[in-house]
């Protein structure tokens, strides 16, 4: 049986060689590799230009659309809209009250931001506006370690937007945008 298998293997090897199934690899030559190099260089150049264009576009957009941190700073967009970014830095007046923004012009505003509290208390955290000793609650939430707010409100001139909580604030960021 082993002799028969060995004979069949020899027969298959001979038939495979006669049909030309095994050929040595062809040499592509210098012309083929030169064309390949040109393709690789062209693709690399296009990818580099694309990457450069995207990075320049991102930096242009980022540096021209960053909001100012000062209330009196002119708008970067030139539309006259108020775009304020601020951090809470201390109480003004009563304990637990942090002023965010004083409205200079009656309009509709979008107020959004977050605050990180040092201690969670049982009292609510209140975002409200004050105008001539009249307080109006914009948003009221239960106290958590990190809280976020998003409010759109129609506000009159000289309104003060404030946030009230009894815990100390470790970090915060609020944005006010005139719509």
Question: What is the mean predicted confidence (pLDDT) over 21-27?
Answer: 53
pTM over 0.75: no
Residue 3 pLDDT class (50, 70, 90 cuts): low
| pLDDT at residue 49 tops 90 | yes
Please write the tens of the pLDDT for every residue from 111-143. Answer: 888 888 877 877 888 888 888 888 888 888 888
What residue segments make up the domains of the chain, in order of their start? 83-178
Give residue 32's pLDDT: 60
The pair of three-digit structure tokens given for residue 76, joined into one six-digit string: 């970067």
Give residue 14's pLDDT: 53
Residue 12 pLDDT class (50, 70, 90 cuts): low
Contact 159, 88 (CB under 8 A): no
- Higher confidence at residue 73 or residue 43? 43
Give residue 89's pLDDT: 63
The CATH code of domain 83-178 reads 2.60.120.40
- DSSP H stretches of helix in 100-161: none
Q: For residues 141 and 125, give the distance between their C-alpha atoms in angstroms, rounded to a whole number.
A: 5
Please write the tens of the pLDDT for every residue from 77-116. Answer: 444 466 666 677 655 545 678 888 888 888 888 888 888 8
| pLDDT at residue 76 tops 70 | no
Rounded (5°) CA angle 33-37-42 = 150
1: helix, strand or coil = coil
61 φ/ψ angles, rounded to the nearest 5 degrees: -65, -45
Q: For strand 124-131 and strand 134-142, is the pairing parallel, antiparallel, or unpaired?
A: antiparallel
Distances from the Cα of 102 to the Cαs of 75, 120, 137, in angstroms? Answer: 16, 28, 16
- Position of tokens 């049909």? 19
Q: Which residues of 31-55 are buried (b: 16+ CB within 10 A; e: fewer)?
A: eeeeeeeeeeeeeeeeeeeeeeeee
| pLDDT at residue 7 tops 80 | no
- Position of tokens 């003060």? 160
- Higher confidence at residue 116 or residue 27? 116
Residue 52 pLDDT class (50, 70, 90 cuts): very high
- Higher confidence at residue 11 or residue 159? 159
Strand order in the sheet with 169-178: 83-86, 169-178, 107-117, 146-155
């Amino acid at each position: 049986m082993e002799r028969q298998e060995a004979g069949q293997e020899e027969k298959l090897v001979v038939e495979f060689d006669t049909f030309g199934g095994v050929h040595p690899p062809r040499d592509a030559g210098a012309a083929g590799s030169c064309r390949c190099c040109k393709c690789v260089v062209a693709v690399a150049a296009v990818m580099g230009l694309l990457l450069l264009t995207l990075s320049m576009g991102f930096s242009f957009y980022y540096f021209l659309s960053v909001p100012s941190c000062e209330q009196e700073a002119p708008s970067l967009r030139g539309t006259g809209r108020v775009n304020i970014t601020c951090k809470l830095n201390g109480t003004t007046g009563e304990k637990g009250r942090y002023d965010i923004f004083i409205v200079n012009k009656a309009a509709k505003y979008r107020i959004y931001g977050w605050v990180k509290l040092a201690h969670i208390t049982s009292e609510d955290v209140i975002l409200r506006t004050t105008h001539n000793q009249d307080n109006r609650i914009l948003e009221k939430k239960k106290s958590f370690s990190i809280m976020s707010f998003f409010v759109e409100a129609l506000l009159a001139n000289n309104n003060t937007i404030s946030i009230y909580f009894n815990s100390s604030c470790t970090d915060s960021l609020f944005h006010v945008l005139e719509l």
